[in-house]
Amino acid sequence: MKLPPCVLTIAGSDSGAGAGIQADSRTIHALGGYALTAITAVTAQNKRSVMAWRAISPALLAAQIKAVTGDFHVAAAKTGLLPGIAAVKAIAESLPFGISLVIDPVIGSTSGTRFLSAAGVRALKKNLIPRATLITPNWPEAALLTGLPVTTFREAESAAWALLADGCQAVLVKGGHSGGRICRDCFVTTDSRERWFEHARVNTPNTHGTGCVLSAAIATGLARGRRIDTAVSDAVEFLQRSLKAGRMVNWGGGGAGPAFAG
């Protein structure tokens, strides 16, 4: 029996299971991978808000990464919530080189909780982004990472190219914050390729964890040997199918339900 490719998710734990480690693991397994985990922080949250959170110690975070990479063949990794400078450095020092790395730069929650300080963002740009196969910021994250305004598709394109200067191989600036009925994601690479992924906005209240699902799906595609543009394209389609499949689910209680609950 052929073993599934191992994908390591380095992210926070979401007690509501809509995002973070839980959403990543569901996505990786749904796409034929085997999810390994290194938890960066524990959050107390539900569909409405993050009520409390606490970072895992850098030493324990590094130990988790070393434990799994020392025993499993990790084909790809992804990062999500990074709770500070020490966490960024712990990941950079413990994650072996040569592993395809997708960085979903989760600087804060949609409900308004800030996880990564300005100093942490600088550490991310210095220590991890240069190692990334791909980074997947949304518009607010792209603005924080570049210092540029990102409120239009043209500005998103400019930010995508600017982010390549930090040393990553490719950038996908997601267009979910654009408003309107059409979303456009800008994909650029260091070999001067540019591609736009365009798709109709899915009318659903269940959007929690979309960035986690997308980045985990891309990492799984890379682990399965897909080219980066193919992995991105497949992941965008997977997220669209997930949003459409879950749009009629009524989770109750208010707030945004999980984007993928498979």
State pLDDT tens for residues 116-134.
Answer: 889 999 999 999 999 999 9
Average pLDDT over residues 49-68: 96
- Out of 210, 246, 255, 257, pick the active-site residue: 210
- Out of 209, 221, 255, 257, pick the active-site residue: 209
- Residue 56 DSSP symbol: P
- 10 to each of 22, 49, 105, how far by Cα in Å? 11, 21, 12
Q: Is 174 a catalytic residue?
A: yes
Q: Residue 143 — pLDDT band, cuts 50, 70, 90?
A: very high
> Taking the model in full, what pTM does it have?
0.96
Q: Is 212 a catalytic residue?
A: yes
Q: Is 221 a catalytic residue?
A: no
Parse the chain into domains and list their residue ranges. Answer: 6-246
Percent of the chain beyond pLDDT 70? 100
Q: Is 27 a catalytic residue?
A: no
- Residue 110 DSSP symbol: T
CA nearest neighbour of 141 among 189, 174, 92 = 174
Pick the CATH number of 6-246 from 3.30.70.870, 3.60.21.10, 3.40.1190.20, 3.30.590.10: 3.40.1190.20
Query: Is pLDDT of 234 > 90?
Result: yes
Q: Is 210 a catalytic residue?
A: yes
- Residue 32 DSSP symbol: T
Q: Is 79 a catalytic residue?
A: no
- Out of 212, 220, 246, 255, pick the active-site residue: 212
